[in-house]
């Protein structure tokens, strides 16, 4: 059996449409759960016949997903964003691939279904999760292994999720899926990525975070540091953090010059607040087998070491440090 978990802070028409699409395809309505994340004043009601689980406070995407997964009693859980739409055949595709690996991800398209939004995941040397082929016109490509499945549409073996330690809920939102996939791969839990041309999974985009100016940038900048703190072996951690710290300062300065004040503020915010998380992170570091071998065996999945770090912002000296460290 599969539990469908849909974290939602705002509810509304997008969510109602998604539920109707799932039920029409054969998903058991009793196994679809909406994790109502906190008590937002703009919440729009959904039909009372749906399974709505109210959290006591806002947990963010990472926390709401983790809450739902750990309270599930099904073998598999399917995580879906509340602003997705899924075409006919998704249910069949899900069942066809669910046993391939502990974690399965699916290609996600833009709202119109014409361009790729997520085609597998990677990560750069600064801790930024990468959405591969983002913005490219839809094209055919074989299924493959990937570093992580996008949390917007991912299928998980529940026991494997728990064994890998689950999402780090301190992330709140953004890059929690990238970090988890990296950690899971190091622990031996692979992610299989599906590019099924017979289905389409479309994403409206920024249904929630787009409402708060600068929020996305603050989370992404901070969580890139947290990804490194959780996954880099102790003997080389200081080198990676020093590099990421230096780049953050350059990125802040250059973003300010270019008029990207939200990115600049996000960089400043991440460095200012990172120290408060170090103690919390130590428990997961002790759990997650931080040896150099487990790090090296995932390097081929991390993709380009500087993408998407805006190369124009990187001085020659900083770029040399990147490649010395990476290669």
Q: Tell me the pLDDT of the chain averaged across its residues.
A: 88
Highest mean pLDDT among 257-261, 287-291, 303-307: 257-261
Highest mean pLDDT among 67-71, 124-128, 196-200, 248-252: 67-71
Indicate whether 223 pLDDT > 90. yes
Indicate whether 276 pLDDT > 70. yes
Residues of the chain above pLDDT 70, percent: 95
What was the pLDDT predicted at 316?
79
Name the least confident of 82-91, 147-156, 207-216.
Answer: 207-216
* Greater model confidence, 286 or 264: 264
Indicate whether 209 pLDDT > 80. no
Angle at 106 between CA 83 and CA 136, to 5 degrees: 85
What was the pLDDT predicted at 1?
81
In angstroms, the CA 239 to CA 10 distance is 41
Backbone φ, ψ for residue 258 (5° rounding): -85, 0
pLDDT, one tens digit per residue, over 64-74 is 999 999 999 99
Q: What is the separation, in whole angstroms, between the first and last Cα of the chain? A: 44
* Greater model confidence, 288 or 249: 249
* Greater model confidence, 205 or 212: 205
In angstroms, the CA 149 to CA 107 distance is 9
Indicate whether 311 pLDDT > 60. no
How many CB atoms within 10 Å of residue 320? Answer: 11
In this prediction, residue 181 has a pLDDT band, given cuts at 50, 70 and 90, of very high
In this prediction, residue 211 has a pLDDT band, given cuts at 50, 70 and 90, of very low
Please tell me whether the peptide bond between 261 and the residue prior to it is cis, using omega within 30 degrees of 0. no
* 49 close to 78: Cβ distance less than 8 angstroms: no
What was the pLDDT predicted at 43?
72
Q: What is the pTM of this model?
A: 0.92
Q: What is the mean pLDDT of residues 165-177?
A: 93
Q: What is the mean pLDDT of residues 254-282?
A: 86
What was the pLDDT predicted at 39?
82
């Amino acid at each position: 059996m599969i539990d469908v978990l849909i974290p939602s802070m705002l509810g509304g028409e997008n969510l109602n449409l998604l539920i109707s699409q799932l039920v029409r395809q054969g998903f058991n309505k009793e196994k679809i759960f909406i994790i109502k994340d906190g008590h937002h004043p703009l919440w729009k009601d959904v039909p009372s016949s749906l399974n709505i689980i109210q959290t006591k406070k806002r947990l963010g995407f990472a926390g709401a997903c983790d809450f739902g997964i750990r309270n599930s009693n099904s073998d598999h859980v399917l995580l879906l964003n509340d602003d997705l739409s899924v075409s006919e055949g998704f249910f069949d595709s899900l069942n066809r691939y669910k046993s391939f690996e502990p974690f399965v991800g699916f290609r996600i398209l833009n709202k119109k279904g014409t361009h790729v939004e997520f085609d597998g995941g990677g990560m750069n040397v600064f801790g930024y999760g990468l959405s591969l082929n983002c913005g490219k016109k839809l094209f055919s490509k074989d299924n493959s292994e990937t570093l992580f499945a996008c949390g917007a549409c991912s299928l998980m073996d529940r026991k494997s999720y728990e064994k890998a330690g689950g999402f780090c809920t301190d992330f709140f939102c953004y890059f929690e899926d990238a970090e988890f996939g990296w950690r899971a791969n190091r622990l031996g839990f692979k992610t299989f990525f599906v590019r099924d041309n017979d289905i389409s999974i479309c994403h409206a985009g920024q249904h929630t975070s787009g409402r708060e100016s600068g929020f996305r940038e603050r989370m992404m900048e901070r969580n890139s540091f947290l990804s490194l703190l959780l996954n880099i072996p102790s003997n080389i951690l200081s080198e990676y953090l020093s590099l990421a710290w230096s780049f953050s300062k350059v990125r802040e300065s250059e973003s300010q010059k270019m008029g990207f004040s939200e990115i600049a503020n996000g960089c400043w915010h991440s460095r200012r607040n990172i120290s408060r998380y170090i103690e919390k992170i130590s428990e997961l570091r002790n759990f997650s087998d931080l040896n150099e071998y487990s790090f090296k065996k995932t390097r081929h999945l991390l993709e380009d070491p500087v993408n998407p770090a805006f190369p124009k912002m990187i001085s020659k000296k900083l770029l040399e440090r990147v490649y010395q460290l990476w290669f």
